[in-house]
Amino acid sequence: EDQVTQSPEALRLQEGESSSLNCSYTVSGLRGLFWYRQDPGKGPEFLFTLYSAGEEKEKERLKATLTKKESFLHITAPKPEDSATYLCAVQAYGQNFVFGPGTRLSVLP
Amino acid sequence: GAGVSQSPRYKVAKRGQDVALRCDPISGHVSLFWYQQALGQGPEFLTYFQNEAQLDKSGLPSDRFFAERPEGSVSTLKIQRTQQEDSAVYLCASSPLGQAAGGYGYTFGSGTRLTVV
C-alpha cells in the first residue's frame, strides 16, 4: 500500500530563517511526487512535480528535491506570506494520488 | 471559468439529511476527482471521472456516497443519510489529461465544508 508521511507536523520560523520540510514515501512504481501549498479555507495549489531521484525544481524561495525514499522542500529566507500547509503526494502508475498529512508552516515577521 | 468552482462553500446538515455538493471543473478538463479532507489531514481520494465515465470509485466510504458527471462537465457528489463522521471538507479537482497520462498537477477548487450536527 502506498504511504506518505511528512515531518515536522508543524514548523515555526522567523522571517529569513531557512529550513526544510520532509516527505517520506513508499510506493510501488513512482509515477510522480507532487508538492502542493494549501492556505486556510482554500484548496491545494500545485507547486511542483518530481519524477525521478536526483531531480530538483525551484520556484522563488522554494526548492524541491527527490531521492528514492523521500523528498525535501527547502525554503530559503522565508517571508510571512509563505505561511501555509505544504502537502506532499505520490502517484504510482495507474493509481490515484496519495497525500501526506501536511506540514503547517508559520513564518513570523 | 478560470478555476474549479464548488458550491456551496459551507453546508450544515442535520444527521440523517441528504446533501448534494456541486463541482464545476475548468472547461474542457477531461478528468475530475473528488477528495475528502478531514481537519488537519491530507486529502483522501473518493472517486474519479474521465469525461462522463466514473472509472474509479474505490475511495467512496460507503454506499451512502454517490457521484455523477452525466455530461462530462459538472459533477455532483451526493451523500445520503449523513452521519457525523461525514463532516469534512470535500474537494474537487480537475485535469486536462486522463489519469493514465499521470504526472500532471491537478487544479483544486476551494472545497465545500460539510458539518453534520
Asked if the Cβ–Cβ distance from B44 to A31 is below 8 Å, we say no
Q: Write the CB contacts of A104 (distance below 8 Å, at least 6 apart in sequence).
A: A9, A10, A11, A85
pLDDT in the model for residue B100: 59
C-alpha cell at A102: 501536511
Indicate the average pLDDT of chain B: 93
Condensed to tens digits (0 to 9), the pLDDT of residues A65-81 reads: 999 999 999 999 999 99
Whether the pLDDT of residue A54 is over 60: the answer is yes
At B103 the pLDDT is: 56
The pLDDT of residue A61 is above 80: yes
Closest CA to B4 of B110, B114, B113: B110
Which pLDDT belongs to residue B41? 94
Chain A positions contacting chain B at CB under 8 Å are 4, 31-32, 34, 36, 41-47, 49, 51, 87, 89, 91, 93-94, 96-102
Chain B nearest-CA residue for A40 = B110
Residues B30-51: what's their mean pLDDT? 95
The answer to whether B40 faces chain A, any CB pair under 8 Å, is yes
pLDDT of residue A97: 87
Q: What are phi and psi of A21, to 5 degrees?
A: -110, 145
Interface test with A, best of B41, B60, B94, B97 (most A CBs within 10 A): B41
Strands (E), chain A: 3-7, 10-14, 19-26, 30-38, 45-50, 56-59, 62-66, 70-75, 84-92, 97-99, 103-108
Question: Please, is A41 exposed, middle or buried when counting C-beta atoms within 10 Å of its C-beta (0-12, 13-18, 19+)?
Answer: exposed
Contact criterion met (CB below 8 Å) for B83 and B20: no
Distance of CA A71 to the CA centre of its chain: 7
Do residues A2 and A90 lie in contact, with contact meaning Cβ atoms separated by under 8 Å? yes
Locus of grid cell 484548496: A43
pLDDT more than 90, % of chain B: 86
Can you give the pLDDT at residue A51? 92
How close, in Å, is residue A47 to chain B by CA atoms?
A: 8
Looking at residue B25, its pLDDT comes to 96
- Three-state DSSP class for B71? coil
- pLDDT at position B104 is 66
Give the tens place of pLDDT for each residue, A82-105: 999 999 999 888 788 899 999 999
Q: Look up residue B10 and give its three cell numbers.
A: 459551507
Nearest to A26 by CA among A57, A55, A5: A5
The β-bridge relationship of strands A10-14 and A103-108 is: parallel
What are the tens digits of pLDDT across the range B68-110?
999 999 999 999 999 999 999 999 999 988 765 655 678 999 9
Q: Check whether B44 has a pLDDT greater than 80.
A: yes
The pLDDT score that the predictor gives to residue A95 is 80
Q: Which residues contact B50 (CB under 8 A, 6 or more apart)?
A: B30, B31, B98, B99
CA dihedral (A39, B66, B8, A103) in degrees, to 10, reads -10
Q: Which of A6, A66, A97 to mutate to test the interface with B (most CBs of B within 10 A)?
A: A97
Cis peptide bond prior to A8, omega within 30° of 0: yes
3-state helix, strand, coil in chain A (%, to 5): 5, 60, 35
pLDDT at residue B1 is higher than 70: no
- The β-bridge partners of B19 are B79
Q: What is the pLDDT of residue A36?
A: 95
CB spacing of B108 vs A44 below 8 angstroms: yes
pLDDT tens, A14-40? Answer: 999 999 999 999 998 898 999 999 999
